[in-house]
Amino acid sequence: MYKIISKVLANRLREVLGSLLSPSQNAFIQGRQIQDSVLIANESLDSRLNSGVPGLICKLDVEKAYDHVNWNFLMYLLERCGFGVKWHNWIKFCISSVRFSVLINGTPCGFFPSSRGLRQGDSLSPLLFVLVMEALSRLMDRAVARGYLEDDTLVFCGATRDQLYHLKGVLLCFEAVSRLRINLGKSEIVPVGSVVDVEALAHVLGGRIASLPMKYLGLPLGARYKSKEIWNPILEKMERRMAGWKRSYLSKGGGLGLRQIIPFNQALLGKWLWRFANERNAYWRQVIASKYGCDRDGWHSKEGRGGHGVCLWKHIQSGWSRFSRYVHYTVGAGDSIRFWMDRWNDEGLLRDVFPAIYQIAIHKQATVSEYLSWHNDDMVWSVNLHRSLQDWELGEYTDLMGFLYRRKVKRSEVDQMWWDCTTSGLFEVRSYYRMLTSNNNITNFPWKSIWQCRGPHKVAFFSWAGESVNHLMLHCEYAQELWSMIFCLFGISWAMPQTSYALLHCWRRKGPAYVVWNAIPSCLMWLLWRERNQRAFEDSERHSADLKLILIRTLMEWTDAASRLSFPSVFAFIDGCV
């Protein structure tokens, strides 16, 4: 019963939590992502380093965060946030229904209630804890504090005793009301820039002295793009995982999981470009826009030049020209959509559809709103030109005006961006990856013919690596005899392709009736490969008639194992194929 009630309350609280908390909080809040805090922290650190003003990063650890939450303080916060009495009672029931029992000599001795703390592993507890941490955020509202996640808190401040004493006072006040105490043993003081007497400053607040680069929320903070501090731990982790005996003999059944790394990374970064264009009020976007500036349309930021900015956002923004090919816009107010340069209609870019008018337009970067005015509820389009129209330009200008007046514009709505590669118009990483790799040979890889051939896994892996033995598999004397037998058995005529991959491409058929047919290429090539190895290493040779019989038997065994079809004999199998 408790799990049902807490789940319902958590779902309701999640809907309104974003409007109650400050923009600097990103954990467990619907519509925000924890990676936002890492991006903000890296950009803030970069700005501080470039300013030349020394400062400190205080990475604070809250001691036993969930266990020490004061219930009375939590109830007070709920009241200040406007929650009613009924909601108070529901939350009070959820957090106070915990019972503990102590083992004495291995025997539980009764149960006793708790007086503080939140349950671990409960869907409601993270949301309540974030609400408690909001009190600390409000206490430090005038300080530079960004990014909270449970017991991992990051604070930027100046390298002065006054600021540290003020920060310590805020933390003590927060501890007094919430019972959440800073664990100085796990907290770190990190100097930013040239900080004088950092040991004395660290003594004011407590905690150990660390240095950049550091880890924040599991990701690097203050590290260079290609520095060893980023990649060495990843390489060491993978080496440890692959060093074990079991990892050395991993089965390759089910495919190799191959994916083009560069296009896939570009597709993942495209998610940030989509969020920047659509999350206009998000705090992380405001940070990026304030630091780099926005182009006049506001859909993307300006590129960082030279040493301005960190590599993270620079690499994200560098993909805008590629990303923008797959988006279109819906005109509302029209003040963020360029008339000539953006795709806001089904015809394409207007500079390409009406090139003669575009050449004599005064302002080629004009927005739709600059060319559109309203007389009551009627649209009035006015395209400013350098000169009067010539006779040969009148037809194109008339077509342009006719096109514009056929458009329906809802001026009360905001301009919107839509993704071309999905039916919903919303961005998806897999759709972007598919577009980035659409002109690459790997998308034409016959993976279904290889990994869904119904044969053993080792045969599928062999077929995957079979491109280098095309002559053996397709054009040698024994191979041609076996292929001819198959074609005669099924009563078809076939022109043999030049490569095994080309054969697999055109061979596969859909449907349960083609189980035998789809297994033939892998089975035949596997048989030829084994015969080749037997002749090369065992000096043993089989007659072509024996190979044909082995091929038929193997196909029958694979069919029996992979489908509901069952044949009592080889002759029955041949009759079924015919």
What confidence tens digit (pLDDT) does each residue in 407-418 have? 888 888 999 999
525 contacts: CB under 8 Å, gap ≥ 6: 462, 463, 466, 473, 500
Same domain, 105 and 216: yes
pLDDT at residue 440, as a whole number = 58
> Most confidently modeled of 43-52, 82-91, 194-203, 487-496?
82-91
Is residue 75 over pLDDT 60?
yes
The larger pLDDT score, comparing residue 565 to residue 148, is at: 565
Q: Answer whether residue 469 is part of any domain.
A: yes
Tell me the three state secondary structure of residue 413.
coil
Same domain, 113 and 204: yes
> Most confidently modeled of 265-269, 374-378, 522-526?
265-269
> Most confidently modeled of 155-159, 221-225, 254-258, 337-341?
337-341
What confidence tens digit (pLDDT) does each residue in 220-258 have? 888 776 677 677 777 787 777 767 655 555 555 444 556
The pairing of strands 99-100 and 55-61 is unpaired
Same domain, 139 and 212: yes
Degrees to nearest 5, angle at CA 288 with 210 and 44: 20
Same domain, 55 and 187: yes
Asked which of 74-83, 187-196, 471-480 is least confident by mean pLDDT, the reply is 471-480
Mean pLDDT, the chain, as a whole number?
83
Note whether 73 and 178 are within 8 A (CB). Answer: yes
Q: Answer whether residue 436 is part of any domain.
A: no
pLDDT at residue 354, as a whole number = 95
Per the structure, the complete domain to which residue 539 belongs is given by 445-577
Which of residues 187, 221, 255 is at a domain's end? 221
C-alpha 205/C-alpha 165 separation (Å) is 7
47 contacts: CB under 8 Å, gap ≥ 6: 291
C-alpha 152/C-alpha 217 separation (Å) is 7
Same domain, 399 and 338: yes
Phi then psi for residue 205, to 5 deg, are -95, -25
Residue whose C-alpha is closest to residue 449's, from 395, 391, 510:
510
Is residue 442 over pLDDT 80?
no
pLDDT band for position 513 (cuts 50, 70, 90): low
- Point out which residues pair with 225 in neighbouring strands: none
Is residue 22 over pLDDT 80?
yes
The larger pLDDT score, comparing residue 191 to residue 100, is at: 191
Quote the tokens at residue 486: 């198959």
Note whether 159 and 55 are within 8 A (CB). Answer: yes
Which of residues 221, 255, 282 is at a domain's end? 221
What confidence tens digit (pLDDT) does each residue in 169-178 have? 888 888 888 8
What confidence tens digit (pLDDT) does each residue in 130-152 have? 999 888 888 877 554 443 334 45
Note whether 9 and 124 are within 8 A (CB). Answer: yes
Q: Answer whether residue 184 is part of any domain.
A: yes
Q: Answer whether residue 96 is part of any domain.
A: yes
Asked which of 179-183, 254-258, 458-462 is least confident by mean pLDDT, the reply is 254-258
C-alpha 198/C-alpha 150 separation (Å) is 27
What confidence tens digit (pLDDT) does each residue in 516-539 have? 888 888 888 888 888 888 988 888
Asked which of 148-162, 279-293, 308-322, 386-400 is least confident by mean pLDDT, the reply is 148-162
Q: Answer whether residue 440 is part of any domain.
A: no
pLDDT at residue 469, as a whole number = 56
Note whether 131 and 20 are within 8 A (CB). Answer: yes
Same domain, 26 and 171: yes
Is residue 383 over pLDDT 50?
yes
Same domain, 350 and 404: yes
Task: Report percent pLDDT > 90 for the chain.
Answer: 27
Q: Answer whether residue 500 is part of any domain.
A: yes
Place of tokens 């936002």: 36
Q: Answer whether residue 435 is part of any domain.
A: no
Count of domains observed in the chain: 3
Place of tokens 């039916």: 423
pLDDT at residue 146, as a whole number = 40
Place of tokens 């599928």: 460
pLDDT at residue 208, as a whole number = 87
pLDDT at residue 339, as a whole number = 94
pLDDT band for position 358 (cuts 50, 70, 90): very high
Calculated CA dihedral for residues 304, 310, 311, 313, nearest 10 degrees: -70
Q: What b/e readout covers 171-207, taking b as 16+ CB neighbours within 10 angstroms?
A: beebbebbbbbbeeeebbbbbbeebeebeebbebbbb
Same domain, 202 and 157: yes
Same domain, 13 and 147: yes
pLDDT at residue 145, as a whole number = 42
Task: Report percent pLDDT > 70 for the chain.
Answer: 87
Burial class (CB in 10 A: 0-12, 13-18, 19+), 6: buried
pLDDT at residue 331, as a whole number = 93
Note whether 139 and 37 are within 8 A (CB). Answer: no
Q: Answer whether residue 526 is part of any domain.
A: yes
DSSP state at residue 328: E
Same domain, 144 and 267: no
Same domain, 154 and 15: yes
Same domain, 22 and 123: yes
